[in-house]
Amino acid sequence: MEYIASGFYHALQLILKLDSELLGIIFLSLKVSGAALVLAALIGIPLGALLSLKKFPMRSAAVSLLNTFMGLPPVVVGLFLYLLLSRSGSLGFMSLLYTPYAMMIAQTVLSLPIVASLTYAAVSSVNPVIRMAARTLGANNYQTAVAIIREARMGIMAAVIAAFGRVIAEVGAILIVGGNIAGLTRVMTTAIAMETDKGNFELALALGIILLSLSLLINTALHLIQNNKDVRSQIEGD
């Protein structure tokens, strides 16, 4: 209990002092996770929508595979990417290992199946009448797909929120491919792991509290946007 109280105090001190090292760590965390999330959304949303809207052989196998990948163990992803990005690996020539780019790739790999799979579920749950309505109004295939995806936007937003939760809290993969190098690849989660290893529990806890607060802040903002746009919540509230 003492640790927790002290952790809160320490966290407050660190924030108020605007410690430059801490700010650098926070900024890098947001940059890495933000970039990974954008990449995962750019690839995952069209992929999930395509899986839902387009019928093709082995589609259910592809969906099952995607669902399985939602539970990818971060350390396994980290190890796999390490082998790919290390000097002897097939992507070694890019010299990405121990850079923020490697961490972004790792988090993209981890969050992509979440975005794609939940987008698939969201698009699949759109009332089939919407598809018919769009077609009866003269929409072509592309316009019909856009209308359906627009109807699924709340579910897609939920997919992005879930993926954000995964990337902001992730430590295993980025520790392996990033290396937790101070000022270069140290992010909040890897810093927490390091401080815990060192027995510096107060600082680790303080960093944890800041991470949770940031996560809460961003999630609240995303939920507010989602709820404001979701008229169904107003209907249920009537």
- In the complex, which residues of this chain contact another protein (CB under 8 A)? 127, 129-130, 132-140, 143, 147, 150-151, 231-232, 234-235
Phi, psi for 60 (deg, rounded to 5): -65, -30
Beta carbon of residue 225, minimum distance to another protein (angstroms, whole number): 15
Beta carbon of residue 229, minimum distance to another protein (angstroms, whole number): 9
Q: Which is nearer to another protein, 143 or 213 (CB)?
A: 143
SS3 123: helix
Contact predicate 78/175, CB 8 Å: yes
Angle, CA 164 vertex, CA 61 and CA 40 arms, to 5°: 50
Any alpha helices (H) in the chain, and if so which ranges?
2-17, 20-53, 59-69, 74-85, 100-124, 128-136, 141-151, 153-168, 172-178, 188-197, 201-229, 231-237
Beta carbon of residue 237, minimum distance to another protein (angstroms, whole number): 11
Beta carbon of residue 132, minimum distance to another protein (angstroms, whole number): 6
Q: Which is nearer to another protein, 42 or 231 (CB)?
A: 231
Beta carbon of residue 158, minimum distance to another protein (angstroms, whole number): 15
Q: Which is nearer to another protein, 182 or 231 (CB)?
A: 231
Beta carbon of residue 129, minimum distance to another protein (angstroms, whole number): 4
Q: Which is nearer to another protein, 84 or 139 (CB)?
A: 139
Q: Which is nearer to another protein, 143 or 200 (CB)?
A: 143
**Burial class of residue 199, CB neighbours in 10 A (0-12, 13-18, 19+):** exposed
What is the distance, to the nearest Å, from the Cα of residue 31 to the centroid of all Cα atoms in its chain? 12
SS3 196: helix
DSSP state string for 64-85 = HHHHHHTT--HHHHHHHHHHHH
Q: Which is nearer to another protein, 197 or 238 (CB)?
A: 238
